[in-house]
Amino acid sequence: MRISCMILALTMMSGCSVLSKQPIEQKIEVLPPQMIEVAVDDDICLFISEPENFDYNCDMAYWLEVWLEADATPWIERKAQLAALGQSKKDKIHAYLLSLSSDTPYQDRLRAQLSIDDLMPEFTDAAALVIEVVVSNPNKQLMELESALSVLSKENTLRGQELQKLYAELKAQQKKLEELLQIEATLMDKNRNN
């Protein structure tokens, strides 16, 4: 018996030593980030050739002012402004900036994001890069977080309802158990009396 235990112990130790002698190597190739070269002048124009009836094509200060004013305006007022806008490129950009504030409902922000995504190929490289990095990426990330939060909230609500059902079942089972214990106690009292 001792010999078989010794052989088993030696086999296990030799197996462990074989495993520890073989290092685990993982080669992960890290690619350098892709650099996009964009000539940034003092003026960044949204479009190469200015669309018809499109003022402020090369005036980023104007669009920044629109964005800042929109951020300081309550959603109810911005919603009325959005309803008054049309489908021109200027109106789509204006609607996008009006929809960027954090108090904008998810559906309205998504609609504006999809609209600006449709315009992206028409922007100059510099404008597209600025819009993507400064505005679109944070907006998309916020929408993803809101979506995840919504899913988690629904999941928590369902779990809470399940817990309430289980608690109600537990109470019912406790009541039945107490009734059974009461019956058992009554039967034991009767047996003692007999």
**Three-state secondary structure readout of 55-75:** CCCCCHHHHHHHHHHHHHCCH
pLDDT given for residue 44 in this prediction? 85
pLDDT given for residue 81 in this prediction? 92
What is the DSSP secondary structure assignment for residue 124, as one 8-state letter?
A: -
Q: In the chain, where are the structural domains located?
A: 60-157
Residue 37 banded pLDDT, cuts 50, 70, 90: low
Cβ–Cβ under 8 Å, residues 143 and 170 = no
Q: Dump pLDDT digits (tens) for 113-166.
A: 999 999 999 999 998 998 999 989 999 999 999 999 999 999 999 999 999 999
Residues 6+ apart with CB under 8 A from 74: 103
Among 73, 121, 117, 68, CA closest to 92 = 117
Give 22: exposed, middle or buried? Use CB within 10 Å, 0-12, 13-18, 19+: exposed
pLDDT mean across residues, the chain: 83
Better pLDDT: 36 or 114: 114
pLDDT at 79 exceeding the cut of 90: yes
Please, what is the end-to-end C-alpha distance for the chain in angstroms? 60
Q: Dump pLDDT digits (tens) for 162-187.
A: 999 999 999 999 999 999 999 988 88
